[in-house]
Amino acid sequence: MPITQKISPFLWFDNQAEQAAKYYTSIFSNSRIITVTRYTEAGKDIHQRPAGSVMTVAFELEGQAFTALNGGPVFKFNESISFVISCETQEEIDYYWDKLGAGGDPGAQQCGWLKDKFGLSWQVVPKMLPELFVDANSPGAQRAMTAMMQMKKLDIAELQAAYAEAGVTTG
């Protein structure tokens, strides 16, 4: 089944497109691999890939369409693009943090951001986070921001406690 979403992320990997798609679909429950295409002899002087090797993998994570390409070592991921996972509970944050962070770059972890083993950046954040910063000048927002800047993996209870210490409570 082809991807019908009008706009979707297209991820450039050296040669790990299929491995990455399988990895990501194993983490997100509502996910699947849709199609795998393969390089042919045609264009080999340009693509430099063996005929029959994986060219692209179309897959979905939580209903979001993605395509992964084995395009060679020309481009690398960086933090200018990341994917945000909006989590309802601390257990959900812990799950995605542990799964996506396994084998990744621990030095790239800050304020809910992590870099996975393929170099792709993710933000694992509580769904309620924007509520804390609606009024950026409030004492609660200031304290929550200070607390968040000290965290790698975000902790909902600690963020709410920091916000509430200023005399305000969140829902």
Q: Dmax of the chain from CA atoms?
A: 68
Strands 121-126 and 82-87, by their bridges, are parallel
Give the DSSP letter of residue 78: -
**Is it the case that residue 2 has pLDDT exceeding 90?**
no
C-alpha 109/C-alpha 114 separation (Å) is 4
Query: Residue ranges of the domains in the chain?
Result: 10-70, 82-164
Per CATH, the homologous superfamily of domain 82-164 is 2,3-Dihydroxybiphenyl 1,2-Dioxygenase, domain 1 (3.10.180.10)
| Residue % of the chain over a pLDDT of 90 | 81
Tell me the CATH number for domain 10-70: 3.30.720.100
Q: Across all residues in the chain, what is the average pLDDT?
A: 92
pLDDT tens for each residue of 10-40? 999 999 999 999 999 999 999 999 999 999 9
pTM of the model: 0.89
- Give the per-residue pLDDT at 136: 86
User: Around Cβ 109, how many Cβ atoms within 10 Å?
Assistant: 17
Which residue in 52, 67, 80, 51 sits closest to 13, CA to CA?
67
Return the higher-pLDDT residue of 170 and 127.
Answer: 127
pLDDT at 166 over 70: no
Report pLDDT for 48: 83
Pairing mode, if any, of strands 54-61 and 113-115?
Answer: unpaired
> How many C-beta atoms lie closer than 10 Å to residue 74's C-beta?
7
Q: Give 148's contacts (C-beta < 8 A, 6+ positions apart).
A: 111, 112, 154, 159
